[in-house]
Amino acid sequence: GAGVSQSPSNKVTEKGKDVELRCDPISGHTALYWYRQSLGQGLEFLIYFQGNSAPDKSGLPSDRFSAERTGGSVSTLTIQRTQQEDSAVYLCASSLTSQETQYFGPGTRLLVL
């Protein structure tokens, strides 16, 4: 079946602009996660959605970052007033429940000039 999809696959933006990254989880998966991976670094947890519960936003690095998940499916990660240090690969994952295996999308490579 279809896996996790993300768009765009690559995004180049200028410092100070806002960007929106999209994630389509695997159908039926109630849990959705956003991670960030900077060059040569490990995964950094950003935010977690589970069903209709309040999201865990504890990993968001600043208030310029926000995310929503509408209708319990598609999620959008928004970065306002982008900075060069925001350049990274943004990865989305989903799982059947929070206790199950997480499956990752291909990521969005963000470059802030």
Partner 1 sequence: DAKTTQPPSMDCAEGRAANLPCNHSTISGNEYVYWYRQIHSQGPQYIIHGLKNNETNEMASLIITEDRKSSTLILPHATLRDTAVYYCIVRVEKLGGGSNYKLTFGKGTLLTVNP
Task: Between 93 and 110, name the residue whose CB sits nearer to partner 1.
Answer: 93
Which span sits near partner 1 by CB under 8 A: 13-21, 60-68, 73-81, 92-100? 92-100
Judged by CB under 8 A, the stretch of 11-19, 29-37, 60-68, 74-82 that binds partner 1 is: 29-37
Is residue 105 close enough to count as binding partner 1 by CB under 8 A? Answer: yes
Cβ burial, residue 94 (10 Å; 0-12/13-18/19+): buried
Strand partners for 54: none
The string of DSSP codes covering 28-51 is T--EEEEEEE-TT--EEEEEEEET
We find the least distance from the C-beta atom of residue 104 to partner 1, in angstroms, to be 4
Q: Is 31 in the site for partner 1 (CB under 8 A)?
A: yes
